[in-house]
Structure 1
Amino acid sequence: MHIQTKYFGEMSVDTTKTIQFPSGLPGFVDENEFVLFNLSETSVYQILQSTRNKGVAFIVVNPYVFYQDYVIDLDDHLMDSLQIKDDQDVAVLSIVTVKDPFDTSTMNLKAPVIINSQTNRGKQYILNSDAYPSKAAITPQDSSLVKGE
């Protein structure tokens, strides 16, 4: 299938790689199908791109790249709705708010995107705790959140 993307123009997409978000994403409830593209071959950043609307695309990153001690507990309802049977099947992404200069950009640790990598089902999961901010620094300032410091 071919889709129009926000950052790369027209792209060919393997339909087996599309990620279904049955409830959409907060603020984008009608956007139910996305695909992940690497921003570049060497970047840790990816693009979560809607397959239907080229204007709906999010820069995302694995939060563990920056916050190795990041811990979230997924409730049973989420585990059931995403058909998660094994922790190894879970991919966690944080949506990045890009700012200029880039090193002032932030990532949302309060509402990670959870994806079952086996079934390609996803959901943005809003944590019921204030343990993590919605605007965490891309370069962690709080050494208690960074493993080994």
Structure 2
Amino acid sequence: MKINTKYHGEVEIEQKDVISFDFGIPGFPDEKEYVILPLAKESVFFILQSFKTEELAFIISDPFIHFSEYQFDIPIDDLETLKIEQKEDVVTFSIITLVEPIEETTANLQAPLLINRNINKGKQLILNDTLYSTKHRIYRKKSSTGQEG
């Protein structure tokens, strides 16, 4: 089937690629179906495109690529909701805020997107009592000594 997208115009997708967010995404409770599309060839960025609303699309990326130390626990209720049985069942993404200059681009580590890849069911998890925020720079500056700062 074909859908209209924010960044790629009309694209062909298969029903099996549609991801259901039963509770929507915070701020968009009525948008319950999305599809993940590549932003560009061989990019670490993707697009989480609403199935029904062309203008609604989020830039996303695997947070572990940008933050190797990133970690969190998935509450039991969410494991059950998403029917996650093994660690390999889940794929994690962060919503990215692209800004100019590109060095100011941030990732939302406080609210990761979890997707059970086996059944294409997703949820945005809100982490409470955490040091993570909604704006972590993904391009960390290097100091004159070559250390990240």
In the superposition, the TM-score normalised over structure 1's length comes to 0.92
Matched, 1:17 2:17: yes
Q: What's the counterpart of residue 147 of structure 1?
A: none
Query: How many residues matched?
Result: 142
Report if aligned partners of 1:67, 1:140 keep a CA contact under 8 Å in 2: no
CA contact (8 A) 1:34 1:50 kept: yes
- Structure 2 residues without counterparts, runs of 5 or longer: 143-149
Aligned to 2:125: 125
Q: Secondary structure of the residue that 2:110 maps to in structure 1? A: coil
1:146 alignment counterpart: none
SS in 2 for 1:16: helix
1:12 to partner: Cα distance: 0.4
Moved over 2 A (4+): none
**Hey, what does 1:2 align to over in structure 2?**
2
Q: Give the aligned residue type for 1:76.
A: I
Please report how far the alpha carbon of residue 119 of structure 1 lies from its aligned counterpart in structure 2 after TM superposition.
0.8
Aligned pairs for 1:37-116 within 5 A: 37-116=37-116
Contact 1:34 1:51 in 2 (8 A): yes
TM-score (normalised: structure 2): 0.92
- Structure with greater Cα Rg: 2
Distance in 2, Cα, partners of 1:25 & 1:90: 17
Query: Taking every aligned residue pair, what percent have the same amino acid on both sides?
Result: 39
Alpha-carbon distance in structure 1 between the residues aligned to 2:117 and 2:9:
26
Letter in 2 for 1:86: Q
What's the counterpart of residue 146 of structure 2?
A: none
